[in-house]
Amino acid sequence: MPKDPFGREIDYLRISVIDRCNLRCVYCMPLRGLSFIPGPELLTCAEIVAVVKAAASVGFRKVRLTGGEPTLRADLLDIISGISSVQGIRDIGMTTNALLLPGMARELVAAGLSRINIHIDSLDPERLKRVMRFSHLDDMLAGIHAAEAAGLSPIKINAVVVRDYNDQDVVELAKLTLERSWHVRFIELMPLGGGPCAQLSLSQFVPSAESRRRIESALGPLVELPSSHASDESRNFRLEHGKGVLGFISPVSEPYCGDCNRMRLTADGKFHLCLLHDDEIDVKSALRNGGGVEKIRELLLKAVASKPTGHDLDKGVSTEVRSMFQIGG
Ligand code: SAM
Ligand code: SF4
């Protein structure tokens, strides 16, 4: 397994398959001024699978598909089945807003998808629309149930907490874990890309400690669970009598860079070395100039060796070039 200069074992590849999305969450995509990667510049299915083969050959074991919204990618099933046939890959996850899952959850599982993280910020239809613009609560809930019916387990729900938009909704979301064995995780806002979404992420920031206090005062004390894996970015708890897990992902107030095990691949074919830095290494040019597995492996190992550690989110410093939808979270 490749190790970076800080001794971190990097075995998890997060692949953004598209930068487009059917929603416009307030902290992720502005309503105007967007430009997307032209189709011919997106990595093809064969190119993505070639990168995964190179990654598996040096010890990568986990892959996650993300975006933009990965379910908008027309050849998503081919990508998943291509990756699932790569020797060494044990786990294929996907992060999605769930809107399109009712029509595709079973096929995703048949193609080889093993895990799903579903992003929903509120259970109140009006507040949900305000934070995840153009969303519809009933359609998103149908997506969650379709994922569960297709056998994806555990269902992990991610909610980004935004002051004056959905900060009160952490209680209703946390209640989901009373009756269901789902994992509900609350994510602190990160300012990426320097534009209006980054500004909003700074001004509407809510620390995880505040969300936790709000949940405890409504639902009782949380019991902390032992960490299942050092690289799990979520600090996990259970409500007394709860069936599921409550997690807090706190990149700003409790950075976990020391345990990072990730490499990212952007939809236009760059290894993005850290979510919170702009450093990238181009792999698409090598793929399109006849570079084989050996060349991709060399670029990947260079990317691992160049991974930064630490960030300045507490000072409001993050990426300037790419926003969240252009990296994948
Ligand atoms: N569209 C999919 C979704 O929303 O899950 C996948 C891509 S989205 C960029 C990946 C994750 O990034 C989302 O689940 C959301 O929780 C997170 N995210 C987006 N913008 C964020 C921000 N400014 N701060 C923290 N998390 C953010
Ligand atoms: Fe789309 Fe996901 Fe970004 Fe929301 S967080 S705009 S669903 S890519």
Atom index in ligand 1 nearest the CA of residue 23 equals: 1
Q: Whose CA is nearest to atom 19 of ligand 1?
A: 28
Q: What is the pLDDT of residue 261?
A: 92
Ligand 2 near 157 CB (within 6 A): no
> Residue 146 falls within a domain, yes or no?
yes
Residue 33 CB coordination number (10 Å): 7
d(CA 189, CA 187): 6
pLDDT tops 80 at residue 228: no
120 C-alpha to ligand 1 centroid (Å): 10
Which ligand is closest in space to the CA of residue 20?
Answer: 2
What integer pLDDT is reported at residue 304 of this predicted model?
A: 95
* Ligand 2 center from residue 304 Cα (angstroms): 27
Query: Is 6 part of any domain?
Result: no
pLDDT tens string 20-70 = 999 999 999 999 999 999 999 999 999 999 999 999 999 999 999 999 999
Stretch 230-253: mean pLDDT: 93
CATH number for the domain harbouring residue 305: 3.20.20.70
Q: Tell me: pLDDT of 317 over 90.
A: no
166 lines ligand 1 (CB under 6 A): no
Q: Using CA atoms of 118, 63, 180, 248 in order, give the dihedral in degrees to the nearest 10.
A: -70
pLDDT at 230 over 80: no
User: 12 vs 62, 90, 253, CA distance in Å?
Assistant: 5, 11, 24
How many Å lie between the centroid of ligand 1 and the Cα of residue 292? Answer: 32
> Does 144 reside within a domain?
yes
Ligand 1 pocket test, pick from 18, 36, 66, 116 with the greatest ligand atom count within 8 Å of Cβ, gives 66
Pick from 227, 205, 58, 23: which is nearest to 128 by CA? 23
Structural domain contains residue 1:
no
The reply to whether ligand 1 has any atom less than 6 angstroms from the CB of 324 is: yes
Q: Is residue 275 part of a domain?
A: yes
Q: What is the 3-state secondary structure (H, E, C) of 180-238?
A: CCCEEEEECCCCCCCCHHHHHHHHCCCCHHHHHHHHHHHHCCEEECCCCCCCCCEEEEE
- pLDDT bracket for residue 2 (50, 70, 90): confident
pLDDT digits (tens, 9 = 90+) for 234-244: 999 999 999 99
The answer, yes or no, to whether any atom of ligand 2 lies below 6 A from the CB of 327, is no
Pocket lining: 97 vs ligand 2, CB cutoff 6 Å: yes
Best probe residue, ligand 1, of 119, 186, 250 (max atoms within 8 Å of C-beta): 119
Q: Report the pLDDT value the prediction gives residue 110, as an integer from 0 to 100.
A: 98
Ligand nearest to the CA of 69: 1
Residue 5 domain flag: no
Q: Over the chain, what is the mean pLDDT? A: 95
pLDDT in tens, 85-129: 999 999 999 999 999 999 999 999 999 999 999 999 999 999 999
Which tens digits make up the pLDDT trace of 123-159? 999 999 999 999 999 999 999 999 999 999 999 999 9
Q: Is 69 in the pocket of ligand 1 (CB under 6 A)?
A: yes
pTM comes to: 0.96
- pLDDT of residue 232 exceeding 90, the answer is no
Residue 322 or 187, more confident: 187
Q: Give a yes or no: residue 2 inside a domain.
A: no
CA of 9 to the centre of ligand 2 (A): 29
- In short, whether 96's Cβ falls inside 6 Å of ligand 1 is yes
- What are residue 245's phi and psi, to 5 degrees? -120, 140
Domain count, the chain: 1
Atom of ligand 1 nearest to the CA of 251: 25
Q: Is residue 243 part of a domain?
A: yes
User: Which of ligand 1's atoms lies nearest the C-alpha of 191?
Assistant: 23
Answer whether 27 contacts ligand 2 (Cβ < 6 A).
no
Q: What is the C-alpha separation between 287 and 24, in angstroms, rounded?
A: 32
Q: How far apart are CA 9 and CA 20, in angstroms?
A: 31
Domain assignment of residue 49, given as a range: 12-326
